[in-house]
Structure 1
Amino acid sequence: MSGKAFNRESIFGAWMGRAKRAAAIMVLATVCIPWSSGVHAAAAQEDIRVVIFADLGSKYKATVPAVTLKSSGGLSVGQNSGGSFQTWMGLPDSTARFSVDSYRVKVLEGNEAAAIKAAQALQKTNDKPTVFIGSKNGSSVYQVYAGIYASEQSAQAAVQRISSATGAQAEVKGNKHWSTGSYGSEQEANLVRTTIAAAGFDAFTVIQSRGQYAVWVGEESNDSKLLALKTELESKQPRLTLSKVNATQAGLIIRQEAGVTTGSQVMSHYMLSGSDNSKVIVNGGNNGVQVMERSQRTYRGEMEVGMTSGQLALVNEVPLEQYLYSVVGAEVYSSWPDEALKAQAVAARSYALAQGNRFQIGNVVDGTLSQAYNGKSSEHANVNEAVDATAGEVIKSGGKVVEAVFSSNAGGVTADASEVWNSGGEAFASVDSSGDTSAQKGAQEWYHVLLSSGKTGYIREDNAKELEGVTEAGLDKITVTAENTNVRPIPQIQSTVTPIAKAQPGEEIIVLEKVPQSGDYAWVRGPFTSAQLAKSLQGKVTGTVPSSINHLDVTKRGPSGRVLEVEANGSPLKVKYPDMFRSAMGGLPSTLFDIASTGSYTVLGADGATSHVSGTQGTQILSASGSSTSSGNGVIVMNEDRHARVIDKTQSFIFTGKGNGHGLGLSQWGANGLAEQGYDYKKILQHYYKNVDIVKD
């Protein structure tokens, strides 16, 4: 979905005494329970499940090696039973790290200085480091790991680049362990673990269920390494009774992070073992749960830490109406009229309920692939009131909840379903969306200008004044009011884009046209060179991409005027569905666009035939005094509507368009405009969605 109608560095230091602090941390009990046998459709439950991190293949992929969960009132870990949360463990330290027991790379094991050096070397790579502190052979030791990797093969592939980056002899580790048995308390398990570690082995205390602990030895990546470890264990610790840990057995491996990657804060780290059916539930109560790896956002509801495809999965289960507090606040401005906010609330609720089990372990994801969801940070009293005022209301067509897609701005007319994804249903048709112009309110206009150097660009109207008289072609002239006034490539201030030129007071500048500021309603993108467009087209169109694009033309449009077909050098560019032209053409805001070449123009002949003329070709221009040949930079051509543009010797393409987003269904800016005109939310929704009823479900 479209977002709002808007357009770690790790700290290394403070290390002394860390081992003592780690030893002082108390680790309490928790419980591991399986995922629900299936994710219930959101419509059949009070809560909605929002996937934050997971590897769901082609559906969704956002992964991190570990998550840091925090709550000002402390965290509790437990399970839901009989409709209520049952606490099994409290974390008074208020912050804890969670990951999964999967394949990883052990970079090195050594002293503090070596750990810092290795972690620093990996911090800016894709192989993110984690540093644990523990005890082996009777002394403190730092262990640096990288990853989580989905398979032993992918972990092995990472070994070479990690060894190269750090100079260490890295090795693959995994989730295969030996168990020494079960214990009734953590203290009892810790005594056994300490004895084994003193003999030089990696040993871990594990919580298997409430009041049940185990000690696991080793972290091998395959069975042959696990058998070799057993031989060594039996030779040095002959009194141990060892059994192979079931790979599907749920458990929490208790470790301590040294603070290298956690801002010098030593904290408890829990590694979830088992299969894709394992999870732990973390609750922050009324204070919510803060996820440091998601821009430090705080979320209502509870967090489920689980595993999918060998990677960490984090799901936020939250009451649907509270989820909407965040979604509506992220999607539109809280200052908008109440009726616009209510319309957005009903559309967002309908969209969420229509998703069912789309994402396997959740109903929706937290980004615009579903709906923008930023936790409590995007909530506002006005928005919450609008959600509450429409509680339970949804859009239905034919007795079913409509998947009420929406976008930021339709550019004056919404899309027909055939113009977006080739399908949509009876609820979607192209309609007028004149309220979209509300996005331009208060915005400056810009002059599209031709400089004496032959360059073209844009100057904002408040930085210029008009001059008397016009050019021979009837074009206005301006000059700027301040020294070194920026001439920008598009009618918008872009702090990261260098101006194309600086204009000076007194300099006579030709005005080609006056245009709105580039934003959600009207926009300009480019110029894009042939090479840039060819690169952008790769992987987004079927068939061969031209090595050089000389001509680019819109050859077919849909009911709303959106682009359905584009030809490059006379051959159609094939895409899976029309909305893909946005990404194929370098990330355009919408498909309601026109294309202009900076290096050519089209001539309509007397017989109705058209031909392309490039800026490098001599062109006969008929004037009152006769004909002459024009060739080179800065040639102005004008159409029958007296729209002027400049032709030069470069071959680039400029896109001008309207709207922001796919344009199907509700236009957020359009809804704002209609609300300002006095429409209530039901009339707004029934304007944008056809053959529908607004009902309380």
Structure 2
Amino acid sequence: MTKQRSNGKSAKWGKPLLAAAVAFSFLPLHTPAHAAEADNTVRVGLFLNLGSTYKQTTDKITLTPEQAVAVGQKTDAGYIKWFSTSPGAASSFALGGPRVKLGESGDLKAVSALASKLKSGSDKLSVYKIVRNGQDLYQLYAGPYASDKAASDAAARLNANASVKAVSGLAPAAVGTLSLNAGSYGTQAAAAGALQKVLDAGVDGVLRVSSVNGKVSYSVQVGEANNASALDALKVSLAGKLPGIALSVSDGVSASAAVRSEATADLNNGTTVPSYVLSLGQQDRIWIDGAADKGIRVEERSKRSYRGDLEIGVYGGQLYLVNELPMEQYLYSVVGSEVPASWPEESLKAQAVAARSYATVQTQTATKFKVADVVDSTLSQAYNGVGSESKSVNAAVDATSGEILEQGGKAVEALFSSNAGGVTSDPTEVWNSGGSNLFSSVASQSDSAAAANLKKWYHVALANGTIGYVREDNVKDKGTDATGFRKMTVTAQSTKVRPLPLIQSSVSELSKMNPGDEALVLEVVSESNTYEWIRGPYTSSQLLTSLKGRTTTKLPATIQSIQISQRGPSGRATELKINGFKIDVKYPDMFRSALSGLPSTLFDVVSADAYTVITNATASKGGLSAARLTIGASSHANALSRSLASVGTNTSAVSSGTGFFFVGRGNGHGLGLSQWGAKGLADEGETYEDILLHYYNNVELIKD
């Protein structure tokens, strides 16, 4: 079915009109003769370094599978299993490179104390446990570093460190990645036995696993030289220490893992986990063969667990981690990560179809994420792993299995946002051009569902001039006195007066009130939410800092006025002037980040200067006369009357000497489906088909 629209102007659809449109203007939705050409798997970037495009990195990846999983090398020719990990047992993966070996010690207490002292420094410490002639020893390494020179500099720095000097036997020295081969073996157990003989001889060595001629190979590697001459010297020095063992220069296999027992995470007890220090080329990939019904926990990704397989490689000089899994299982987490599982079934279904359509486009085209189709943040779609799944969400995904939105036989990039603020965006309000005919500005009154059942907040003026907000459940309203002023007090000790009508754990309160303390009530407002919100006050300095690097316009020394000089079809700001000069940004939606991270561009600007409240009357010796009360001196610039702003109508320049508030609606870019709007429509009885057709133009619902 195709949704037609006669022009690109805002469509003010009320519910009767929406129902009529669905009933009379369109044919019923059905499975088409052709199927959607959707990829069956999705590659999700969990860690990835793409520089300014995307950067979410880690030095170590620690995995704990629910069931035994195989780990090996994935090549174009196939998969070569290296080893298996045990259910519930953690193992870590890190990238090799130039390091500093501080030395080894049998004194675990001293090692633990040193690690604690170095924890906050630039030299990241790893501790590995070995056994030499029956004695437990702990080897300390710092790094890896970007270059041999950086490792040498770190060695000098650590040699001068008093805490390092205090531990007997330590002598930091830079080491590299070149080693000697002390034998290759067909099994890991055989290689481990040979390694023990090397260690007992007082020589440092590791077991290394790699792929040779299409098969897994286990070898014992000795030495950590950083150049060829040092490696030759090492070979000569070890000839007498390892009689009967033929030493040869390693063959330089790019994809390999040095197997160690790492104790870094639990130095109090010396408990170890298997650690794999990887040597990888740009095309090498380590594959963890997961399962559809059992998760693998990634400690560094907020301890989230993921269905499917994991891939580890190198991109941008750092480790990447990609989760590859079937589309429908990916959606179980996406839908549950994007919207609450308690929402109506039809809104969950609408979200599932939109998310599937979006992901399908990403899997069918080359994306900016290089080794992945999408990432796990809202830069693509939120994806928090198994923990975000639920029965209701999974059922909604299953009920719409394979369904996507198409235009002209191709899947559409069905963008969505949290809350459109009552009206969705037109593409011109987000990008520099109109984009496709998939999106246009349509009414979304059901977005107000986000404001239902929220607490009210009292906007109050304290006797000392402070202006702030107190939540209604802490307020005792004393009503209007003879002067016409409405007064309040609080019901609990140390009740917080907050700068905005919402609880912000990272923002300090402005003041505190106790029972008996009185304040003037300026107004009673709704709690700030995704539908309607207040942000600020922001000083000139704060806004200039936020704007820096996000505009090519030369910024003034001080912001005296802000003017929304142009708005798009929905009322969103598309042009902004500061002190009368236009501020250039790459695209209109960038004003959100440029102005200290505003929820949306559907906003007005309000001065934080003092203003005057006028009441009906005041008592005086001569009777009643007009009363005026000036609120908010410059030292307490938190005054704001929401009635001053009417979003989408006020474009006059707002001047201020103390700062600016932003009063607005919506959360996100506002294109396509509004998640809260979908929830509101579902509450009113609309089907997921109705919801999708309301938010997307010229589309067909296709089942694969």
Please indicate, yes or no, whether the TM-score normalized by the shorter chain is above 0.5: yes
Q: 1:129 aligns with which of 125, 138, 142?
A: 125
Letter in 2 for 1:583: S
Alpha-carbon distance, 1:381 to partner: 0.3
Q: 1:56 aligns with which of 50, 60, 72?
A: 50
Partner of 2:177: 175
Asked if residue 100 in structure 1 is aligned to residue 111 in structure 2, the reply is no
Between stretches 476-485 and 674-683, larger displacement belongs to: 476-485
Asked if residue 256 in structure 1 is aligned to residue 257 in structure 2, the reply is no
Between stretches 415-424 and 158-167, larger displacement belongs to: 158-167
SS at match of 1:369: coil
Residues 656 and 478 of structure 1: is their aligned pair in 2 closer, same or farther, counting only changes over 3 Å? Answer: same
Partner of 2:65: 71
Q: 2:282 aligns with which of 276, 284, 289?
A: 276
Letter in 2 for 1:421: W
Alpha-carbon distance, 1:665 to partner: 1.4
CA distance in 1, matches of 2:496, 2:576: 34
Between stretches 446-455 and 460-469, larger displacement belongs to: 460-469
Partner of 1:370: 380
Q: Contact 1:280/1:304 (CA < 8 Å) preserved in 2? A: yes
Partner of 1:605: none
CA distance in 1, matches of 2:80, 2:184: 24
Between stretches 255-264 and 313-322, larger displacement belongs to: 255-264
Between stretches 318-327 and 165-174, larger displacement belongs to: 165-174
Between stretches 650-659 and 201-210, larger displacement belongs to: 201-210
Letter in 1 for 2:58: V
CA distance in 2, matches of 1:496, 1:97: 33
Q: Cα deviations across residues 174-216 of structure 1 (Å, max 9, x unaligned)?
A: 4332323432233443344344444544322222245532222
Q: Contact 1:393/1:695 (CA < 8 Å) preserved in 2? A: yes
Letter in 2 for 1:101: G
Alpha-carbon distance, 1:576 to partner: 1.6
TM-score by length of 2: 0.80
Asked if residue 436 in structure 1 is aligned to residue 441 in structure 2, the reply is no
Between stretches 579-588 and 665-674, larger displacement belongs to: 579-588
TM-score by length of 1: 0.81
Alpha-carbon distance, 1:630 to partner: 12
Equivalent pairs: percent with the same residue?
45
Within 5 A, what are the aligned runs for 1:466-481?
466-469=477-480, 476-481=486-491
CA distance in 1, matches of 2:84, 2:66: 13
SS at match of 1:300: strand
SS at match of 1:396: strand
CA distance in 1, matches of 2:278, 2:312: 8
Within 5 A, what are the aligned runs for 1:203-352?
203-209=205-211, 210=215, 212-234=217-239, 237=242, 241-261=246-266, 264=269, 265-285=271-291, 286-352=293-359
Asked if residue 397 in structure 1 is aligned to residue 407 in structure 2, the reply is yes
Between stretches 333-342 and 412-421, larger displacement belongs to: 412-421
Residues 487 and 212 of structure 1: is their aligned pair in 2 closer, same or farther, counting only changes over 3 Å? Answer: closer
SS at match of 2:598: coil
Letter in 1 for 2:127: V
Within 5 A, what are the aligned runs for 1:415-434?
415-423=425-433, 424-434=435-445
CA distance in 2, matches of 1:531, 1:255: 51
Q: Cα deviations across residues 601-658 of structure 1 (Å, max 9, x unaligned)?
A: 99xxxxxxxxxxxxxxxxxxxxx99x999996599999997779xx999612211111
Alpha-carbon distance, 1:380 to partner: 0.4
Asked if residue 446 in structure 1 is aligned to residue 457 in structure 2, the reply is yes
Q: Contact 2:82/2:210 (CA < 8 Å) preserved in 1? A: no
Letter in 1 for 2:547: L
CA distance in 2, matches of 1:639, 1:287: 53
Residues 401 and 148 of structure 1: is their aligned pair in 2 closer, same or farther, counting only changes over 3 Å? Answer: farther
Partner of 1:7: none
Alpha-carbon distance, 1:553 to partner: 2.6
Q: Contact 2:421/2:444 (CA < 8 Å) preserved in 1? A: yes
Partner of 1:4: none
Letter in 1 for 2:54: Y
SS at match of 1:214: strand
CA distance in 2, matches of 1:130, 1:407: 43
Q: Contact 1:396/1:402 (CA < 8 Å) preserved in 2? A: yes
Partner of 2:669: 662
Alpha-carbon distance, 1:495 to partner: 3.5
Letter in 1 for 2:50: L
Asked if residue 458 in structure 1 is aligned to residue 469 in structure 2, the reply is yes
Between stretches 649-658 and 435-444, larger displacement belongs to: 649-658
CA distance in 2, matches of 1:572, 1:170: 57
CA distance in 2, matches of 1:83, 1:385: 38
Q: Contact 2:82/2:216 (CA < 8 Å) preserved in 1? A: no
CA distance in 2, matches of 1:630, 1:489: 15
Partner of 1:37: none
Q: Contact 1:408/1:661 (CA < 8 Å) preserved in 2? A: yes
